[in-house]
Structure 1
Amino acid sequence: MAPEKVLEEIQSMMSHVWWSGGEKKMGWNMLPWDRLCYSKGMGGLGIRDLRLFNVALLGRQVWRLINCRDTLCYKVLSAK
């Protein structure tokens, strides 16, 4: 990207920022993290909640260890 374009882009982004009462405010709404994890249809950004996703993956792994006893992972863990 040309330096002129970068400067224009920065100026455009800065035009969305203004100062009010000594407090910096953005031209767009800031959402709390848990709200960002909502689906787009519910007003969020559809970002996956990594903590819940990790718990789901761990639960799936436990289920596979219980039900699939012929896997290499089960054999290694049961040998320990």
Structure 2
Amino acid sequence: MTHVLLPKYFIADLTSIIRHFWWKGNNPDIGKKPLCLSAWKKFRVPKGTGGLGFRDLYALNKALITGLAWRMLTNPNSLWA
């Protein structure tokens, strides 16, 4: 995730897996719809303001790649660049 820009559909699938696990757990009965007691937007609120601190995976992926590009531009003579 830190070196590859992941496609939006893959990130949507990851988010779906996280949401499914959070609301349903390891319940083997996949046929039933989970009981969602709170909106997903409230889960992504930072911990300091009362949320659970889940991050937007697409924004996180873009930020990590941008940081990598910045390090490559500022230190072109390093071994990993």
| Greater fraction of residues in helix | 1
The answer to which structure has the higher strand fraction is: 1
Rg: which structure is higher? 1
TM-score (norm 1): 0.46
TM-score scaled by length of structure 2: 0.46
